Amino acid sequence: MRLFISIFMIYLGFQLLSANAVEDFSVIDKPNDNGGAIVVSWKEMVAETEKNFFYQIMIAEQEDGPFYPLEKMAYPLKGKGFEVKGYNKEGEESTLVVPNKTYFVKMKVLNGDKSETTVSESEIISVTTKGNFFAFNKLNSFLILIFLTVVIMCFIVYAQRNPHKLFVRRIAGLDAMEDALGRATEMGRSALFVHGLRSVSEIPTIAAINILGKIAKKIAEFDATLRVSNWDPIVQQVSQETVKEAHIEAGRPDTYKSENIFFAAGDQFSYAAAVEGIMVREKPATIFYFGYFYAESLLLSETGAHTGAIQIAGSDAFTQIPFFITTCDYTLIGEELYAASAYLSREPKLLGGLKGQDVGKMAIILILILGTLFTTLGWQGFSKLFWPS
Amino acid sequence: MSNIDTTTIATSKKSDFLVFAIFFSIIIIVNAILLGSGHLKWGLEGVGIMMGAAFTISLYSFLYKDNPLFKMAEHFYVGVATAYLIIVTWYSVILTDVIYAFRDLTKAPFSSSVFWQMVAIILPTLIGLLVYTRIIPRFAWMSKITFSIIIGFGSGLAIPNLINAYILEQAKPSMTALWTSAGGFEWNAIIVFIGVISTLIYFFFSLEHKGAVGATAKVGIWFLMVSFGASFGFTVMARFSLLIERVNFLFHDWIPLIK
């Protein structure tokens, strides 16, 4: 009888261990990356055992350890793999996985109770990280970039040869710009240009600076005053340079005053408070808002409307455009902000870029129509070509 | 300056002083009562609540019109925010990423890796310092090097990501089946499809908005306005919650009127 019970217990122990053994454990270097990650995969355990066990990946820099634990997982991800980008050594800050280094990885199954004893352990697998020169999963992005670049370059060349043949539809907000500046000149008041809250390296800020140049040139021609409020010191410096060049282009370098392009404040709502103060005290005749705005958009444009100024806004901040539409006289929506500088200056480079973007949009419309049609007919192959990485 | 201007400024200063005197008298009396009744405790937290309440009322006074209280709060706010920005830049950028990082490297044994890490600190620092050449007009042109690097680097980094985020990420959910044998017409997918195509046509600058293009663009602008309306309503609700939070601060944390 004792022998029978002993054999039965040993059998149960083996069963328990085998039920919770790590199966199909694999460790690979993450493909299409800079060598800063490894991917760990394993077969999902049976559902009943998941509630009672934890799974823990252990990583080491030497085969004989020490092994550093990663976070415990109650529900392992089936088939998807777990990405390891770093680990914590004892008493040290987070250590990142680096390229061209060999790591040793194993997986432990731990008891779900307080003891957290090891139930089973996988074999140790070594993996050497490697940086890839080309991310093939981003091939579609790369090809679209090449296509758009070629189209834009072709249109720039065409625009340079035939500057008057390229048509751009009317944009009401931009047509009103000259009238608004004329109003400021006639009233003897200043125009105020309010920058959005993004740094100089962001696309909406670059578009806003382009428009600022065109406005500043008109202002210099009209001999009016332009004040430019900035949230970022670097944007302020670039704006100063842009306005200065616009004055030189207009043949009025003497009317440029660097103090008119000022740093208002470095925080969102203090910036709003400072610009609101300027609006109510100086009462500019015209106010421009160009760039990316956040919650301060309504505070600014409502105050501007209260002072009776003509207001023209341009932003690609989807959540703030409604506020500009309700409080400003004219609003440039999204893409119109990027088209503005080409529309105002009719410079071949900018016009070519605008035309190239239109061809890009045409291509996107065609892809969407074909993709939707093929998907409806039951073939996803075409649309998958344009799925993100 | 004319006599009229001088008189106006003197009257304005007098009325400013009166506004300050009345406001601070009321604030002092209210805070004294709150401290006396034991609702507010003297200390950092208590002083913080008292100052917060004074500044909140000063900023809200702008709803009436521009006044010396708002000016005071505005200048405090701008000053504190700028000081905070300087401190954050000093401690989290200049000290951590430049001075301490370089000091740590000088202590490490010299190798090619350490050398390149030093270059990675020195080069961006020098490029950043070039901005200060604007102080000397003769060398001001050098600051353009910094600006062109920042703008070029930003654009180069942003454009490929924009293709992934703004084109491919948006295109994937747009290319779904408009009809399935199990569910029949997928009306949500049809509305999204019409909305995306017509809105894209609205942002097409090469064609005049006339005829079929004009009609499609008009549908596009309707879709945009509906989405803007929804966004407007959602944000207004969020703003109301901010107002409720301020009212709660004034009439619960400061003056205990709301239980």
Residue type, A255: T
Q: Considering only CB atoms, which chain B residues are within 8 Å of A319? A: 231, 235
- Single out the residue in B40, B75, B90 at which a domain terminates: B90
The partner residue sitting opposite A241, judged by closest CB among B82, B144, B169, is B144
Please, how many CA atoms are within 13 Å of residue A256, restricted to the half-sphere of its CB? 19
Q: Specify whether A181 is located in the same domain as A301.
A: yes
CB contact under 8 A, A375 and B175: yes
Q: Which domain holds residue A236?
A: 169-345
Q: Which domain holds residue B237?
A: 176-259
Q: Specify whether A219 is located in the same domain as A92.
A: no
Taking CA atoms, A238 is separated from A215, A230, A252, A265, B150, in Å, by 15, 10, 19, 17, 11
| 318-337 in chain A: CB under 8 A from chain B | 318-319, 321-323, 325-326, 333-336
Q: Specify whether A307 is located in the same domain as A246.
A: yes
Taking the C-alpha atoms of residue A69 and residue A71, their distance in angstroms, rounded to an integer, is: 7
Looking up residue A72, the CATH number of its domain turns out to be 2.60.40.10
pLDDT tens, per residue, chain A with 389 residues:
566 666 655 554 444 444 556 667 788 888 888 888 888 887 765 444 555 677 788 888 888 878 888 877 765 555 567 888 888 877 667 788 888 888 888 888 777 776 777 777 778 888 888 888 888 888 888 999 999 999 999 999 998 888 778 888 888 888 889 899 999 999 999 999 999 999 888 889 989 999 999 999 999 999 999 999 999 999 999 999 999 999 999 999 999 999 999 999 988 999 999 999 999 999 999 999 999 999 999 999 999 999 999 999 999 998 899 999 999 999 999 889 988 888 887 888 888 888 998 999 999 999 999 999 999 998 888 888 888 76
Q: Considering only CB atoms, which chain A residues are within 8 Å of B155? A: 201, 203, 206
Q: Specify whether A109 is located in the same domain as A175.
A: no
Has residue B151 been placed in a domain?
A: no
Q: Considering only CB atoms, which chain A residues are within 8 Å of B66? A: 277, 280-281
Taking the C-alpha atoms of residue A371 and residue A386, their distance in angstroms, rounded to an integer, is: 9
Q: Considering only CB atoms, which chain A residues are within 8 Å of B78? A: 264-265, 270, 273-274
Backbone angles phi, psi at B91, to 5 degrees: -80, -35
Token pair, residue B146, equals 């910094």
Taking CA atoms, A148 is separated from A151, A236, A329, A349, B161, in Å, by 5, 31, 34, 14, 14
Q: How far is A336 from chain B (nearest CA, A)?
A: 7
The partner residue sitting opposite A322, judged by closest CB among B147, B208, B229, is B229
Taking the C-alpha atoms of residue A362 and residue A365, their distance in angstroms, rounded to an integer, is: 5
Sign of CA dihedral B5, B8, B10, B16: negative
| Total domains, chain A | 2
Lowest average pLDDT, out of A70-74, B118-122, B246-250, goes to A70-74
Nearest-by-CA chain B residue for A374: B177
Nearest-by-CA chain B residue for A354: B205
Q: How confident is the model at residue A122, as a pLDDT? A: 77
Q: What is the DSSP letter of A73?
A: E
pLDDT tier at B116, thresholds 50, 70, 90: very high
Q: Specify whether A180 is located in the same domain as A325.
A: yes
Tell me the β-bridge partners of B200.
none
Token pair, residue B170, equals 């948006």
CB contact under 8 A, A323 and B62: no
Contact A117, A110 (CB under 8 A): yes
| Total domains, chain B | 2
Q: How far is A100 from chain B (nearest CA, A)?
A: 14
Looking up residue A205, the CATH number of its domain turns out to be 3.40.50.720
Report which of residues B36 and B158 the model is more confident about.
B36
Chain B interface mutation, best of A355, A364, A384, A389, highest count of B Cβ atoms under 10 Å: A364
CB contact under 8 A, A358 and B204: yes
Has residue B85 been placed in a domain?
A: yes
Q: How confident is the model at residue A22, as a pLDDT? A: 66
Has residue B51 been placed in a domain?
A: yes
Taking the C-alpha atoms of residue A260 and residue A278, their distance in angstroms, rounded to an integer, is: 12
Taking the C-alpha atoms of residue A246 and residue A261, their distance in angstroms, rounded to an integer, is: 13
pLDDT at B171 over 80: yes
Q: Specify whether A176 is located in the same domain as A112.
A: no
Q: Specify whether A121 is located in the same domain as A203.
A: no
Q: What is the DSSP pairing of strand A310-315 with strand A330-333?
A: parallel
Mean of pLDDT over chain B: 90
Q: What average pLDDT does this structure show over B118-144?
A: 92
Residue type, A341: S
Has residue B189 been placed in a domain?
A: yes
CB contact under 8 A, A200 and B154: yes
Q: Considering only CB atoms, which chain A residues are within 8 Å of B171? A: 364, 367-368, 371, 383, 386-387
Q: Considering only CB atoms, which chain A residues are within 8 Å of B139? A: none
Q: How confident is the model at residue A17, as a pLDDT? A: 46
